[in-house]
Amino acid sequence: MANVLVFAETRANTLRKVALESVTAARALADSTGGGEVHALVAGSPGIAAVAEQLGQHGADLVVVVEHAGLANFDREVVAATLAARAKSGSYRIVVVGFSAQGRDIGPRVAAKLDVPIVTDVVEASVTGGAITVKHPAYANKVIVTLEINAPLAVLSVRPGAFMVATAPHAVRTEMMAPAAEPSASKVVVKELIEGGKGKLDLGEAPVIVAGGRGLKAPENFKLAEDLAAAFGNAAVGATRAVTDEGWRPHSDQIGQTGRQVSPQLYIAVGISGAIQHLAGMRSSRTIVAINKDKDAPIFKVADYGIVGDVLEVLPVLTQAVREAKAAH
């Protein structure tokens, strides 16, 4: 029986997907120790307590609510201090955070404040006796490392997407907690926030990339690639050297040996034959989809899924299908 403390990440007082995944992971860990409690800590501006019910749905027994007008935007210093204070005050076996932008910032801080070990990018975890065993993909997912943590308390930072959100309704209590530090006293001050929609997603950052080649036939057909990217919502559009050489797209969009080297979660190559120069820039992408009319094109050798066909026909249909899949989600 061991309790697990989990940080439930929010943005604008709304739970993020990674928060539910973290709670799911925490629930499983608590259960594996023979039924400990899951305590989820949320921090935000007044009104944040409203998310408690939702956390209960996924297995939280107690929601620790940290409400402060100064926490309308995520404050890593305050959250880390508060999470560490809470971890110290209760009897916890594990602190779970997401391996997201917020979690990456607070995990190591909490570990250092508490002087407890931390493992990040965890895809599997279990508690066996005195040790916590976790799996962690390393070397760009080319090696799976199994680690053993020998400490009474540890911080685990879980990879987004690794723990599928599960429903496990628990009767949830709430408990108010004051921030362990004054938000206005934080050393690092956010001066400006630029929301994603306004700026184009950078090729190096985008989890999904739609890249177009000469097979798109004309610059105006890149609209089809842009539509597909828009359907994903988190996608950027890239191009091959042939296309940037033609001036159809700016040189900054080029993916390949002489352009950007990318490794997104999903890479969709449309009308790209797969010259050596292009492959050198995208081969390490996690999942590769290729659409090309030439079934012998080298791109199909590196693609996980290939469709042989005219990109100008396939793209609109795929865009519609992705839109529907996203809407259903």
Partner 1 sequence: MPASKLIFIFLLAGGAGFFALNVQRLVRYMRLGHAENRTDAPLTRLKNVLTIGIGQTKIFRDPIAGAMHATIFWGFMVLTAGTIEILIQGVFTGFSYALFLPRPVFQLYAFSQDVFALLVLGAIAFAFYRRLVLHPKRLEGDKLEHTDALIILSLIGGLMVTLLLTNACQYVLDPSAIGPEKAISRGLAMAIGAVDPQPVVAARVFWWLHVLLVLAFLNYLPYSKHLHVATSLINVFFSNTSGPGQKGVMRAMDLEADVEQFGASDVEHLTWKNLLDGYSCTECGRCTAACPANITGKPLSPRKIVINTRQRLMEKGPVVTGDRMEFLHPALLHGEGDDAGATTATEVLTEHRLLDTYITEEELWACTSCRACVQECPVSIDQLDIINEMRRNLVLSESRFPEEVQPAFESLERNGSPWAFSPADRANWAEGMDIPTMAEVVARGERPDVLFWVGCMGSFDDRAKKITVAFARILKACKINFAILGQEEHCHGDPARRLGNEYLYQMLAKDTIGTLDRYEVKTIVTSCPHCFHQLGNEFPQLGGNYEVIHHSTFIERLLQDARMPLQSGEGKGLTVAYHDSCYLGRYNDIYDAPRETLRRALPVVDLIEPKRTRDRGLCCGAGGGRMFMEERVGKRINVERTEELLATGAETIAVACPFCMTMISDGVKAAQSDVPVLDIAEVVAGQLVSS
Partner 2 sequence: MKIAVCIKRTPDSESRFRIAASSASIDETGLKFDIDDFASYAVEVALQLNEKQGPGETVAYAVGPDAVQETLRKAMSMGVDRAVQLKTDAVPYDGLAVAKALAAELKSGGYDLILFGKHAFDTSAGIVGTATAELLGVSCVTAATKLDIANGRGTARRELEGVAEIVEFPLPAVVTIDEGIARPRYPSLKGIMSAKKKPLETRPAQLGNVRVTVKSMALPPDRPPGRIIGEGTAAVPELVRLLQTEAKVL
Interface contacts to partner 1, rule CB under 8 A: 214, 241-242, 245-246, 251, 257-259, 261, 274-277, 280, 298, 301
Distance CA 110, CA 149 (A): 16
**DSSP symbols for 210-263:** EEE-GGG-SGGGHHHHHHHHHHHSSEEEEE-HHHHHHTSS-GGGBBSTTSB---
Least CB distance to partner 2 at residue 220 (A): 21
Least CB distance to partner 1 at residue 272 (A): 12
Least CB distance to partner 2 at residue 111 (A): 5
Span of 26-34, 38-46, 100-108, 237-245 interacting with partner 2 by CB under 8 A: 100-108
Span of 53-61, 131-139, 176-184, 209-217 interacting with partner 2 by CB under 8 A: 131-139
Figure out which of the listed residues 34, 69, 171, 192 binds partner 2, where binding follows CB under 8 A: 192
The sign of the torsion formed by the CA atoms of 132, 91, 36, 170 equals: negative
Distance CA 172, CA 39 (A): 9
Least CB distance to partner 1 at residue 220 (A): 17
Degrees, nearest 5: CA angle 108-113-115 = 85
Binding characters for partner 2, 5-44, by CB under 8 A (x = yes): ----------------------------------------
Q: Is residue 180 involved in binding partner 2 (CB under 8 A)?
A: no
Distance CA 264, CA 270 (A): 16
Choose the contact partner of 325 out of partner 1, partner 2, none; CB within 5 to 8 A by kind. Answer: partner 2
Alpha carbon 30 to chain centroid, angstroms: 23
